[in-house]
Each structure stands twice: as C-alpha cells, then as structure tokens.
A = this chain, B = another copy of it.
Amino acid sequence: DWRTRGRAHIVRYVILKWTLCLLVGVLAGAIGFFNNLAIENIAGFKFLHTTDLVVANKYLMAFGVFACSNFVLLMFAVAITSCIAPAAAGSGIPEVRAYLNGVDAPDIFSLRAIVVKIFGCIAAVSSSLHVGKAGPMVHVGACVAALFGHERLHKNHLTGKWLKYLKNDRDRRDLVTCGAGAGVAAAFRSPVGGVLFALESLSSWWRSSLLWRAFFTTAAVAIVLRALIEVCVSGKCGLFGKGGLIMFDVTSTTIAYQLLDLPVVILLGVMGGILGSFYNFLMQKVLGIYNQINEKGICYRLLLAGTISIFTSCLLFGLPWLASCQPCPDATQQGCQNLGKTRNLRNFQCSPNYYNDLASLFFSTNDDSIRNLYSSGTHELFDQFSIILSFVTSYFLGIISYGVVAPAGLFVPVILTGAIYGRFVGMLMGSRSSLDHGLYAVLGSASFLGGTMRMTVSVCVIILELTNNLLLLPLVMLVLLISKTVADLFNGNIYDLILKLKGLPYLDGHAEPYMRQLTVSDVVMGPLQFFNGVEKVGNIVHVLKTTGHHGFPVIDETPFCSTPVLFGLVLRSHLLVLLKKKDFLPTPILTSVDISKEYSSDDFAKISTGKSDRIEDIILSEEQMEMYIDLHPFTNTSPFTVVDTMSLAKALILFREVGLRHLLIVPKTSCRSPVVGILTRHDFMPEHILGLHPFLKKSRWK
C-alpha cells in the first residue's frame, strides 16, 4: 500500500494516477472520434454511391454494390475477430462488468483485443448490420485503461519505474472503471452519463474518490471531443462534421405537457417494459443457438455472418420499395436531402421533391435515422404502415444481429427501435396529445432502454445529454421507472443474461433467500489442501499439480507448536515464485535469517498479462524435491476468517463487500483441525449450492 511510503512516493503516485486518467480520457476521446469519423465516412460513401445508382435507375447494380460492400465489410470484421482476438466479439460490456466484479475473463484486455475492437467495430457498423458502436467503445475505453497496467507494455515502452506503483489489483480496477466511463462518454458525448453508467451498471465497488477520478476522465473526453469536432466544423472530415457535442438536439422543441399526456407516457413505459423483456428473452435464445454454431469453427462463423449480412441487405434495400413516395415537407429546390441537420430524408426511387420515408429510416446510418425520428414539428413525416414495418424489422434485426462474432453494441439498435414505436404511439395519439412526435420518439427510446438494459439514472442522464433538453426530465424518469419495473417482473437485464450464457461467475451483492438457511460449512466440498509451516518441496509441487486452487491455508503443527494452529494463507502465485527461486532448506527447521529480504516486492507483483507461470514449467531435481521451504515469511498471517456456524448469506456480505478471493472457515471449538475449509467465489454460485443441496430449489420461496 502506497500510504506507507514516503511523501515523495505518494506525490509521485498521485500524479501518476491522475496522469493516467488524463491519458485514458484523451485516448478514449480520440478513439471515439476516430470511430465515428470512419463509420460516417465509410457508411456515408456507401450510401452516397448506392443512392446515386438508384437515382440513375440502375437498381440491380445499386443492390449489388450495397450488398457486396456490406458483405465484404462484415466478413472482414468477423475474420479479424475470429482469427486475432475472439474475446473482442460482442459489446464487451458484460466482460468489463465481470472484470470489475473480480472475474478475470481471459484475454479481454490485450492489445490485440483493442485493435480488433476498433477496426472490427468500424467495419461491422459500416456494413449496415443492425448493431451499435457504443458497447465496443466501452470495452475500448476499459482496454486502454487496462493496457496502462500491462506488464509487457511497461517493459518495452514505458519507464517501468513509474508504473510499478500501479501493480495492485485495486488501482488497475479503478483505472478500468474510469476507462469504461470514458468509453461511454466518448460514444454518446455524454460525460456525466459516462460516470453514472460506470457507477450504475459496471462497477461492483465504488468509492467517492473514484467518482471524482472518473469524472475527471470523462471531462478530458468531453474536451478532446469538443476540440476535434471544432476542427471538423470547417468541413475537413469528409462526410462527418454535422452536429456538435449534442448528437440529437431537440432543444428547439418547446415542451408543453398536461396531465392528459401522463396516461400515454405510462403506456409507453409499460410497452417498453414488455417489449424489452421479450427482446431479452429472444436474444437469450438466439445467442444460445448462435453460440453452438460459432463454436464449430471459423467457417461456420463466416457462414452465419454472411447469411445475416445478405438478409439484412435484402431487407434494407427491399423494404423501401413497399413505401409510397411522399412530397417533401417544405420542398426547396435542393430536394429533400438538405433539410438541415435534424432531418435527412432520402428520395430513393422517388422523383426529386419527393421522399421515401422507409428509405429515410433504413437506408441511412442509424444516427441519421434517430435524428429523423427525434426531429420536431414533423408529424406528417412518416406513414403509419412504414412505421409498423420498420419497427418489426428493427426489432428482429437487432435480435439476430448481435450474436455475430464481431464487435457489436446493443445501445443504438435499442434506441432506434424504441424511437420508432415511440413515434408510432405519438402518431396514434394524433392531435389529442400536445406533445411533439419527436418527443414521443425520445420517450420511446428511453422506455426501450429501460426495458432491456434496466438502467435508470445513467440512461436518463445519457438521454438528456444526447438531446439537450432538461425540461423533458420528469417524463423520461417516469418512463424509465415504469419500463424497468414492468420488465423486471419477467427476466433479468440483458447483460446479466449474456454473462450467464458465457458462464462467468458474477457475484451479486445480495444474498439469495436460501443462503440464510445454510451455514458456510454446508457448501465447502472435498478434502482441504493445506501446507505445514515448513513444508516439503515435493509435497508442494504435488498439491499444486493436482489441484487448481489459488490459495492454501498454512498450519503450524508439531514440533513447532503443541496444538495445530492456523498460521495464515499462502497464495499459489507466491509458491510458484518460491519454487522458481529454488532457495530450499535441507532440513525442516525454521529459518533464523529473514529470508523475505532476499525477495523484492516486485517478485511477487501480480503479472497482468495473463501469462503467469505454471507449475509444469518449473523443473526440479529429485534431490530438490526432498528439501523443505519455510513458508512463514511468505504467508499472509491475518487472512479473513469466519466461524463454521456463520450463515452463508452473512459470509457472502463479507466476501463481496471487502472484495475477497479466499475466505477461511475456522471451527467454533478448537478441538478439531484449526481450519475446516476455504470459501472462494465459486462456492457462492447458485449452481454450485443448488447442486449440493437440490432440495433447496423447491423451497426457494420458503
């Protein structure tokens, strides 16, 4: 712990922490901007080219160009994800959440993951696949942060002298939290929303000082984004550049709502809840099927992705033909395309001065579609039939697209789908409601977000920051609360479902009811492996090879003590360091010299690359195997312990709140062995407990 070091060290440590936050913020902001820029340009160029062909009546060729470019882009994304970093598939939010809960999923924070995530995301989103770019940005932000704690990076590029202060788990976790918040901030240009997102749905432990640091990071993101957008306003960024820090500005709308509008808003909330939970349910099923396909190999993955890409292309290109042409609302001589930044209508196959409403939704980037839907004073913009068709398409495309092995987020499809049905409800209300249809779309987005993601405060703030209209706040809050309540009746939030599918042992903060009926000794299984204070090398090697445990109790027995006494807990990683050093004792005696002096704290620092030593790599001679190690200097002498009669629920609170990895169980009476077991994260998993005590399943509700 740094607090024991001298003043100079502390100052250096604090400066380092803040500098890293600043760096993470700046990098996340820059990457987020680059992502947006690339997507807008690639997708924009694609749409521009295709539209030109359509206008020139070369429909088949237009479809060919559209479908081919989509196919190639998605194949590229799937290929690099599968070959280089499979951990980069999906949104990455569940993995970041699991990491912050204490579960190290393999390879999620590698340099390869970040590169694949950035370019895969650009390709996947540009390919008109119905996925978002926000989720991957969260992962990228977290990745950037984690890389600064990365062992290899230190050795090669940066002065290890400074960064070695950040080698403990807590600092790394804090930095990753800030990074994830920065990712959200960069994706939605929403600094406060980013902090709250990290707090509400990612972090498992939270301190007030961390709040401040996360806030600093997202402030850096906001400033970087603003500066970069400033550069783009002059038009140097190709097709990108419209829209400032507020993505979907609805400030222009005056908000006037009466008591009569409340029932409709409540209806929207209920709809969002039902549709959202059903979305989660379908998503879970589809992901289960996809996982089976994807596991079969890269060919199957490509095949699956290709099928979805072609299907999507057909839908997006085909459906607009069903819509009728409509005259441009305030037709100027420029046609419909340049109606200001809030509306971006496509004339598709229609003649100039007419537009195709379905094409305006489907045949443009998701951001433009959302902008169209949020635009105010445009009650006649969409046809009812078009809205229903687009809702169904968007809803189901969202479900089937996420499972592709490519970086893909859930946020944007959910926002879009919600906006569509929100607008539909607004159209049904017609003139009976005083609310603008654009606001209905915003509320619809909020309700669908609440129904799927089940976040409240962060989604509320993100929506406010996206739309820059604080007067909407009470309605957004109401809609979110209702939709979350309704959806919670049916199933869990989408990230929990994905985590469960991935089999990551996420530890919830609250105890299940049946845990109160069990004591800690009920869930501990199998023979306990422990070491003596002075242990034979061969014995250690044998135990390490035959078990996968990460911590072992050390017990002092005769001749050092009259009765067996628990001395402490020794970690597997520390034992491996000791074995590698090969500094053994010929006889089982206590060492008189302080042997721990021979090791620096760096030897025991956790290696974060995931490439830790394995017991198989350490080769010892027969002679060495017969020697001894004095474990006393390397043992944590005050591990957290609980008595064996403590209820599992109470132990869980200790385990979770203090953030433990091992919890020793000591007997109430000292008659037996001084330790009766060791609790780890897996012992608290419902699957494990219910497997041991199947009768509890029935009595779940007592």
Contacts and interface: CB of A to CB of B under 8 A. Distances in A.
B192 A461 contact: yes
Interface in A202-243: 206-209, 211-212, 215-216, 218-219, 222-223, 226
B565 A670 contact: yes
Contacts of A657: 657-659
Contacts of A503: none
A443 B195 CA distance: 21
Given A5-B702, A473-B192, A637 B645 contact: yes
A284 interface: no
B474 A219 contact: yes
A677 interface: no
A111 interface: no
A563 to B, nearest CB: 7
Contact of A561 (B512, B646, B669, B702): B669
A338 interface: no
A60 to B, nearest CB: 47
A245 interface: yes
Contacts of A512: 3
Interface stretch (A124-132, A308-316, A464-472): A464-472
B658 A215 contact: no
A246 B471 contact: yes
Interface string A470-512: 1101100110010010000000000000000000000001111
A206 to B, nearest CB: 6
Interface stretch (A161-169, A647-655, A684-692): A647-655
Nearest to A655: B658
A684 to B, nearest CB: 15
A484 B212 contact: yes
Given A4-B702, A561-B669, A456 B215 contact: yes
A511 B658 CA distance: 14
Nearest to A476: B219
A653 B649 contact: no
Interface string A173-216: 00000000000000000011001100111000011110110011
A12 interface: no
A643 interface: yes
A246 B251 CA distance: 14
B215 A477 contact: yes
B658 A474 contact: no
B481 A219 contact: yes
A251 B249 CA distance: 13
A7 interface: yes
A324 interface: no
B473 A222 contact: yes
B638 A222 contact: no
A460 B484 CA distance: 27
Contacts of A206: 206
A157 to B, nearest CB: 28
B565 A668 contact: yes
Interface in A291-311: none
Given A4-B513, A208-B509, A465-B470, A192 B457 contact: yes
A274 interface: no
Given A457-B215, A657-B658, A702-B5, A638 B642 contact: yes
A257 to B, nearest CB: 9
A511 B3 CA distance: 9
Interface string A538-579: 000000000000000000000001010110000000000000
Contact of A653 (B191, B465, B513, B658): B658
Interface in A610-653: 637-638, 640-643, 645-647, 649-650, 653
A457 B1 contact: no
A701 interface: yes
A192 B460 contact: yes
A245 to B, nearest CB: 7
A223 B482 CA distance: 15
B654 A658 contact: yes
Given A191-B474, A658-B654, A456 B702 contact: no
A516 interface: yes
27 contacts: A1-B649, A3-B511, A3-B513, A3-B516, A5-B702, A6-B702, A192-B461, A199-B199, A201-B208, A207-B510, A208-B509, A212-B456, A215-B460, A216-B477, A222-B474, A223-B474, A223-B478, A226-B474, A468-B471, A470-B470, A565-B669, A566-B668, A638-B642, A638-B645, A638-B650, A641-B643, A654-B658
Interface of A: 1, 3-7, 10, 191-192, 195-196, 199-201, 206-209, 211-212, 215-216, 218-219, 222-223, 226, 245-246, 251, 456-457, 460-461, 464-465, 468, 470-471, 473-474, 477-478, 481, 484, 509-513, 516-517, 561, 563, 565-566, 637-638, 640-643, 645-647, 649-650, 653-654, 657-659, 668-670, 701-702
Per CB-CB distance, the 7 closest pairs between chain A and chain B, nearest first, are A638-B646, A219-B477, A3-B513, A657-B657, A222-B474, A670-B670, A468-B470
Given A6-B701, A216-B477, 14 more contacts: A7-B701, A191-B474, A192-B460, A206-B206, A207-B509, A211-B457, A212-B457, A219-B477, A222-B474, A465-B473, A565-B670, A566-B668, A637-B645, A641-B642
